[in-house]
Amino acid sequence: MIAIEIEIALVLALPVGAAAVLALAGHRRHAPEVNIAASLCTLAAAAALTLHVMRAGPMLAFGRQFLVDPLNVFLVALTAFVAFTTAVFSRPYMRIEEEHGRLSAAKLRLYHSMFQLFVFAMLLALVTNNVGILWVAMEAATLTTVLLVSLYRTPEGLEAAWKYFILCGVGIAQALFGTILLYFAAERVLGAGGDALLWTALEGVRGQLEPTVLALAFVFLLVGYGTKAGLVPLHNWLPDAHAEGPAPVSAVLSGLLLNVALYAVVRCKVLVDGALPAAFAHRLMMGFGLVSVVVAALLLARQRDIKRLFAYSSIEHMGIVTFAFGIGGPIANFAALLHMTVHSLTKSALFFTAGHAAQKAGTQMIDGIRGLVTINPLVGWGLVLGTLAILGVPPFGVFASEFLILTTAMHEQPWATPFLLAALGIAFAAMFSRVQPMVFGDTTASRLPLRPAMLPVFAHLALVLMLGLWIPPALAEWYRQAARLIG
Amino acid sequence: MAPTPIGFQLINLLAAILLLLAFAMLAQRRVVSLIDLFAWQGAVLAASTAVVAYTTAQPHLYASTILTVLLKVLALPWLLYRMVKRLDVHWEFETLINIPATMLIGIVLVVFSFSLTLPVSELASTVTHATLGIALASVMLSFLMMITRRKAIPQVIGFLAMENGLFFAATSATYGMPMVVELGIALDVLVAVLILGVFFFQIREQFDSLDLRHLERLKEGD
């Protein structure tokens, strides 16, 4: 039991310590390396924690305030991994931005320290057992990234950050009201005090919680955390925030924060399922998910900015995952968890590549980016392969998860399948027709002052490819356990 | 744990004042007066928390009373005053919808909030009967204020007033959230205001004004 507490403490303390060091020391020559080293240590601690939970099963720590079980430890490992590769990517990326005169030392200091705090907020949201602290950590994750979205201080960047702050702030306030209602219901069973917000305690008595209160609470929680996950019609902030910040920030917002927000929804769903007929939460989630998939696919066709294109694709994929959790059952949940993993890896790789492509062309506009392969084949091929992967072309992992979700939908919710298929088809046509001319043909790109960091991109894509061909048995078992937890 | 009749009456009275203040904020055009109203709302909130603490003998609610006074009556209004002074934005401002129409929408929202919380209120012990509806109504009214205002600072005050409504829901409906959660929420609110302060200066530097009409470049289609 001691080891688990040390591991959790390390996972949380390392990013905070790194943030303090990076903020206090200012932007020195080796700040990017410190950022990478700290992220690597966090990843090592997260890996140790993960192995421990795989061996010993779910565990509580620090007087039941923290919980690690297959569901969250899998996201802890994913978050720490993508945070590490993003740190690796951001070293050359941010240096190029500095040489292009878009960033100063003060801004880089803000970037490095806020990046670490953001990672901390997400990890705290994942490992806490307290539904109230989950809310606090989600709000903290927004706050740490607001100033990163406006890092370039362009008019568009400021607008995006303002929208992000206000819309997510309002959204998440709904989630707080939902949490209060949840506490209100729990207090009648568990009594006042700290226990009544502990997820494990709530889960233990979920059958006794007042159904009317829980139904209302879940609507508020879904709307609140759904805003953060970018579900339509609450998605308005997402494309702006993802497009205007620097590429590493877009990558972690899209690849990690959306997952954490969905995780919060799923945790709440488990509680509601016990108190209400299962169809209630499931129908709501399927509805939100399907609308998000369809609307995002239609909007994809209208995008002219490369990062906005990928941002709308994130909305689409969050919709797919929400829909799959809405179907429920072991197979759909398994597919949803797999989809969260592969989307997170692929989408962050795409934002890395899009960042470099925009640096080469000197613009984020799709019309201005042409013929990437001729100047730098790696960036060009990274973009093509990443796009094919996210569009669900076999043998990439996205295909595997989407295929599972579609076949389950055909069995259990046949009415939804045509919508899903049509949306996936539209998304394919829209994205591929935009990416293809960016990569091939006459070029407008120029050479970069430094070598682009394509290693993280290909590492992510290789993992996605592997997950499409072969899921390691240990990982599959772990997904199965998590899927059972969700129910 | 049921509060005494006088405490019960007091909490209802304070809840009514809270709702009135929310309407007053909706109608207020001057930024400085808006901050005053916000501080008053914080004071009413602290008073109601203290009453709940006394009548239900929940000692940890005294701590949250002190926290409310420090944060919402002193710190946040002071920070906002300082911002208004340094940014020099005392002027009156226009709203998107005229004030009487806004008030009418506000009344509809109050009715909606009460009907939404009706099934929950019926379950509640006496103290929370009407207060949950009032709390949700003041959240909705703050929400409305954020929608109808074009300038940055009133929007932020709306955001903070919404937090007040939520906090009132937490104390009156559930006798306060666990202390650690309350501290976390308070920290988030404080950090949010500090970040917004930085942010206002960035907006001003860029546009020479805090009018959010400048922030309408990004569109869904492109």
SS (H, E, C) A384-413: HHHHHHHCCCCCCHHHHHHHHHHHHHHHHC
Q: Do B120 and A216 touch (CB under 8 A)?
A: yes
Model confidence band, residue B149 (pLDDT cutoffs 50, 70, 90): confident
pLDDT tens across A64-98, in order?
889 999 999 999 999 999 999 999 999 999 999 98
**What is the structure's pLDDT at A274?**
81
**What is the structure's pLDDT at B222?**
47
Residue of B nearest to A155 (CA): B206
Residue B96 pLDDT > 80:
no
**Residue B156 and residue B136 in contact, taking contact as beta carbons nearer than 8 Å:** no
What angle, rounded to 10 degrees, do the helices at A397-412 and A306-327 form?
Answer: 40
Q: How far apart are CA A66 and CA A130, in angstroms?
A: 7
- Sign of the CA dihedral running A46, A50, A53, A59: positive
pLDDT tens across B158-209, in order?
999 999 999 888 887 777 778 888 888 888 888 888 888 888 888 888 777 7
Domain ranges of chain A: 278-487
What DSSP character marks residue A61? E
- Residues of A with CB below 8 A from B198's CB? 147
**What is the structure's pLDDT at A193?**
67
pLDDT tens across B114-135, in order?
888 887 777 766 555 678 888 8
Q: Which of B71, B38, B116, B112 is nearest to A181 (CA)?
A: B116
Dihedral (Cα; A431, A435, A437, A438), 10-degree rounding: 150
In three-state secondary structure terms, A150 is coil
Residues in CB range of B151: below 8 A, 6 or more apart: B31, B89, B93, B210, B211, B212
Q: Do B177 and A212 touch (CB under 8 A)?
A: no
**What is the structure's pLDDT at B7?**
79
**What is the structure's pLDDT at B220?**
59
**What is the structure's pLDDT at A131?**
92
Kindly provide the residue ranges of all beta strands, DSSP E only, lying in A27-172, ordered along the sequence. Answer: 59-61, 66-68
The partner residue sitting opposite B143, judged by closest CB among A132, A170, A239, is: A170
Q: What are phi and psi of B221, to 5 degrees?
A: -70, -35
**What is the structure's pLDDT at A325?**
95
Q: Do B212 and A183 touch (CB under 8 A)?
A: no
Residue B1 pLDDT > 70:
no
**What is the structure's pLDDT at A2?**
55
CA distance A438 to chain B (A): 17
Amino acid at site A320: I
Q: How far apart are CA B222 and CA A288, in angstroms?
A: 24
Helices (H), B128-151: 131-148
Domain ranges of chain B: 5-212
Neighbours of A233 (CB within 10 A): 11
Residue of B nearest to A307 (CA): B222
- Positions of chain A with pLDDT under 70: 1-2, 192-194
Helices (H), A153-207: 155-190, 199-204
